[in-house]
Amino acid sequence: MARQFYVTRREVFSAAHRLHSNDYSDAENAEIFGKCNNPNGHGHNYVLEVVVKGEIIKETGYVIDLKILKNIIREHVIKKVDHKHLNHDVDFLHGINPTAENIALGIWEQLVNKIPNGELHSVKLYETENNYVEYKGE
Amino acid sequence: MARQFYVTRREVFSAAHRLHSNDYSDAENAEIFGKCNNPNGHGHNYVLEVVVKGEIIKETGYVIDLKILKNIIREHVIKKVDHKHLNHDVDFLHGINPTAENIALGIWEQLVNKIPNGELHSVKLYETENNYVEYKGE
Amino acid sequence: MARQFYVTRREVFSAAHRLHSNDYSDAENAEIFGKCNNPNGHGHNYVLEVVVKGEIIKETGYVIDLKILKNIIREHVIKKVDHKHLNHDVDFLHGINPTAENIALGIWEQLVNKIPNGELHSVKLYETENNYVEYKGE
Amino acid sequence: MARQFYVTRREVFSAAHRLHSNDYSDAENAEIFGKCNNPNGHGHNYVLEVVVKGEIIKETGYVIDLKILKNIIREHVIKKVDHKHLNHDVDFLHGINPTAENIALGIWEQLVNKIPNGELHSVKLYETENNYVEYKGE
Amino acid sequence: MARQFYVTRREVFSAAHRLHSNDYSDAENAEIFGKCNNPNGHGHNYVLEVVVKGEIIKETGYVIDLKILKNIIREHVIKKVDHKHLNHDVDFLHGINPTAENIALGIWEQLVNKIPNGELHSVKLYETENNYVEYKGE
Amino acid sequence: MARQFYVTRREVFSAAHRLHSNDYSDAENAEIFGKCNNPNGHGHNYVLEVVVKGEIIKETGYVIDLKILKNIIREHVIKKVDHKHLNHDVDFLHGINPTAENIALGIWEQLVNKIPNGELHSVKLYETENNYVEYKGE
């Protein structure tokens, strides 16, 4: 097998959300999610890092042209979540409690079949500068 | 006059907002504010920098103990805006279109009379890594 | 006079340059500019911060819509310098030794008459994470 | 086997480059690489992270003294690429299209036999704040 | 096995330390550790990233509530090391040369049995912006 | 007067310190400075930004060559404070309570007469990512 490289594209989106689980009563939601359960929601500048793993294409020297990866991410993720409310406005999060884990998984599923060269390796999502999650398809 | 120093405390808060002006129709709001007018709102990790200007107190070597400044900011600003919706949940922004300019001004007014040593010099508010505003009381 | 605000837009561009002064011989250039005088040039990810000072427009709550400021900067600066060689490809730097000071001044002159609301207050240009310059029209 | 640690040294270098493949015509290069194919080149502040994996040496408490790793990176990489044009000035990139992938591979090959304690685990190279690649010798 | 996620909490602490090994004479310590062996010590703002790996709990959408992980880290690590001298004030580093490797290992051992959901995957410790280590329990 | 520019050099140093005032008893020091009064000290990665204001020298295009400014800062500040204990090891802080304000003032006094072109405009000192001070000679 040829040498394997990991190439990453970073994108940022600004969205509102509210943590609320249909498995709990309102009182339980308030207790479990605390200020993240504020009825009117709150929001974040989410930082998204998408990693593609693959071989270099000899002619270009690229695993994947990052302009192409950028466009794929913007088409299938950013335009659906940027300046949106994640509980109300996003098709791929419909009915899902938008924790960072669940958002990362949703983004993975949006992208996993759209990568033309190499394969999706990781989706990393920063909710704040102190809190982030990563999903690698395991 | 004694030597003047500028001391800064940085805080972060996560909030939702929607740009919408009562001076415009819904159609005008949609045109002028674009994706920032999304009816369900969006959100940011706001970064706030509060600057106090003053002399060093000889005995402490401080203009103001930054633990005290931190507590003042948290009491009068952060606990009111963090994990909140700025259009609905914040007393000092009631009825105000929550642009970064208007939020910075509101924060200034919350803090200007609360500084025990030195005087409030500047409120800087980052909405994203690319957009920020500063108000200096001018 | 109404309250004054400072609003900032940050943009990034990637460019090559070579420091070389027509006032010096090649040997003097090599001595004075050292590795920055490398004949084939080198390059940077320049970070540009453009600050506009002005009053809030009552109806919008903006000094200037940062989407508009972004578009002005991209039209008059970024599309001329991004992925370019500053010594060869940029009309407003023709014949000028592209130090950070001279680039910042050139950018100021590109923008100073293009700001529709408020006035240009400052152009800050980071050449590296350790070196930057600011010009305020003084 | 003893406990394994990963130690990282971060270095920065400023260089010019131009993406251009000998496998394509000029017209194809212009189409495929777009603005990255600008004939006079452009440039970046590249951020390099070199990771060494190994056991702690009992006496020092180090896997490898990071001052030593810094010196190795500076001797074999930084002094060859910093303030250089990667297409013209760098022996280990001669004849290679300097994509981030190819530069990272070249840096790996410069370093892989030079690590006195532990083994080279990863070379990560940031071209911009949004684009980076990693090579782990796989 | 259910899908695996990696969730990270970042914390910062400020501490003094001195590198000094009981396996060496004073002269050897001075030579090997150089300025890090300064008798009065020096210090850092250490950045700590703790990664927990695990499945999402269906009801919450969390692997682990990051508020809970934050509290665990603060209880078992931060309150012991923040604003302390690592050679003198920290029970879990007693008699240990406080290199970044040894501190990371000590933090791992503090935390490994305290994680209520998922398992401790990694402890990453930044000593400066240019130097950091990671331990994964291997 | 010719156009005025502000040029900044950023440097980092790692030092230990303890806040303790000779104007207070030990009990008062413990109460006023809290954890910053820990007898064995603590430490920081201090970030220093030195700003020089002046005109461009026509021949070079520089206010001051930042390599020269870097060397001045390293000679007169960094080599005295980096990997040192600020209460014990630094001549220009002897007998002074090393608050950020007092350190910034000490650095200003070290540099103010050493700038060959332009004049010292500002010393900014970050103690942590959340706390910093600035002194401008006012």
What is the predicted pLDDT for the residue at C76? 98
What is the predicted pLDDT for the residue at D76? 98
How far is Cα C117 from Cα C52, in angstroms, rounded to an integer? 8
Token pair recorded at residue B18: 């929607």
Decide if D44 touches E, using CB distance below 8 A. Answer: no
E36, E42, E44: residue with CB nearest F85: E42
How far is Cα A130 from Cα D69, in angstroms, rounded to an integer? 29
Query: For the residues E105-127, what does the mean pLDDT come to?
Result: 98
Position E103, amino acid? I
CA distances from F76 to A25, F64, F72, F109, F113 (A): 64, 17, 6, 10, 11
Rounded to the nearest integer, the mean pLDDT of chain E is 97
In Å, how far is B66's CA from the nearest CA of chain A?
21
Rg (CA), chain A: 17
Check CB contact under 8 Å for F38 and E85.
yes
**Dmax (CA) of chain A:** 60
CB pairs under 8 A between C and F: 61
Rounded to 5 degrees, what angle do the CA atoms D35, D41, D45 make?
Answer: 95
Check if the beta carbon of residue C21 is closer than 8 Å to that of residue F60: yes
Task: Indicate whether this model's pTM tops 0.95.
Answer: yes
Q: How confident is the model at residue B65 (pLDDT cuts 50, 70, 90)?
A: very high
Check if the beta carbon of residue C48 is closer than 8 Å to that of residue C124: yes
Q: Is the pLDDT of residue C1 over 90?
A: no
Q: Name which of A91, A103, A98, A128 is nearest A37 in CA terms.
A: A98
Token pair recorded at residue B100: 């970064």
Q: Is the pLDDT of residue F93 over 90?
A: yes
Residue C32 CB neighbours (<10 A): 18
Rounded to the nearest integer, the mean pLDDT of chain B is 97
Check if the beta carbon of residue F46 is closer than 8 Å to that of residue F14: yes
What is the predicted pLDDT for the residue at A133? 98
Chain D residues with CB under 8 Å of E105 CB are 3, 5, 56
Query: For the residues E39-43, what does the mean pLDDT come to?
Result: 97
H helix or E strand, kind and range, residue B25:
none
Q: Which residues of C are catalytic?
A: 36, 83, 127
How far is Cα B91 from Cα B107, in angstroms, rounded to an integer? 11
Assess if CATH 3.30.479.10 describes domain B5-135. Answer: yes
How far is Cα A86 from Cα A17, in angstroms, rounded to an integer? 5
Strand C42-54 vs strand C84-85: parallel, antiparallel, or unpaired?
unpaired
What is the predicted pLDDT for the residue at B19? 98
What is the predicted pLDDT for the residue at D37? 98
Residue E75 CB neighbours (<10 A): 12
Tokens 């999706």 map to which residue? A120
Q: How confident is the model at residue B86 (pLDDT cuts 50, 70, 90)?
A: very high
CA distances from F122 to B112, B119, C129, F10 (A): 25, 20, 18, 12
Query: For the residues B104-123, what does the mean pLDDT come to?
Result: 98
What is the predicted pLDDT for the residue at B98? 98
Check if the beta carbon of residue B48 is closer than 8 Å to that of residue B124: yes
Query: For the residues E29-35, what does the mean pLDDT come to?
Result: 97
The yes-or-no reply on F/E contact (3 CB pairs or more, < 8 Å) is yes
3-class state of residue F22 by DSSP: coil
**Which residues in chain A land under pLDDT 50?**
none
In Å, how far is B100's CA from the nearest CA of chain C?
8
3-class state of residue C126 by DSSP: strand
The runs of H, that is alpha helices, within chain A are 26-33, 66-73, 79-81, 100-111
* pLDDT above 70: percentage of residues in chain D: 100
Q: Is the pLDDT of residue E129 over 90?
A: yes
Strand B119-126 vs strand B131-135: parallel, antiparallel, or unpaired?
antiparallel
Check CB contact under 8 Å for D130 and A10.
yes
Check if the beta carbon of residue E21 is closer than 8 Å to that of residue E29: yes
Q: What does the DSSP 8-state code read for residue C106?
A: H
Query: For the residues F92-97, what does the mean pLDDT come to?
Result: 97
Check CB contact under 8 Å for F23 and B58.
yes
Q: How confident is the model at residue F29 (pLDDT cuts 50, 70, 90)?
A: very high
What is the predicted pLDDT for the residue at D106? 98
pLDDT tens-digit map of C36-66: 999 999 999 999 999 999 999 999 999 999 9
Check CB contact under 8 Å for F133 and B4.
no
Q: Is the pLDDT of residue B1 over 80?
A: no
In chain E, what are the domain boundaries? 5-135
Decide if B12 touches A, using CB distance below 8 A. Answer: yes
Chain F residues with CB under 8 Å of B62 CB are 99, 101
What is the predicted pLDDT for the residue at F71? 98
User: Mutation test of the interface with chain E: which of F45, F79, F91, choosing the one with the most E Cβ atoms within 10 A?
Assistant: F45
CA distances from C47 to C1, C80, C124 (A): 33, 15, 8
Q: Which residues of F are catalytic?
A: 36, 83, 127
What is the predicted pLDDT for the residue at B134? 98
Q: Is the pLDDT of residue E114 over 80?
A: yes
Burial of F40 (0-12, 13-18, 19+ CB in 10 A): middle
Check CB contact under 8 Å for A42 and B14.
yes
F9, F61, F66: residue with CB nearest C97: F61
Q: Name which of D137, B129, F70, D129 is nearest A66 in CA terms.
A: D129
CA distances from D34 to A63, A65, D16, D30, D39 (A): 17, 11, 16, 5, 11
Query: For the residues D93-120, what does the mean pLDDT come to?
Result: 98
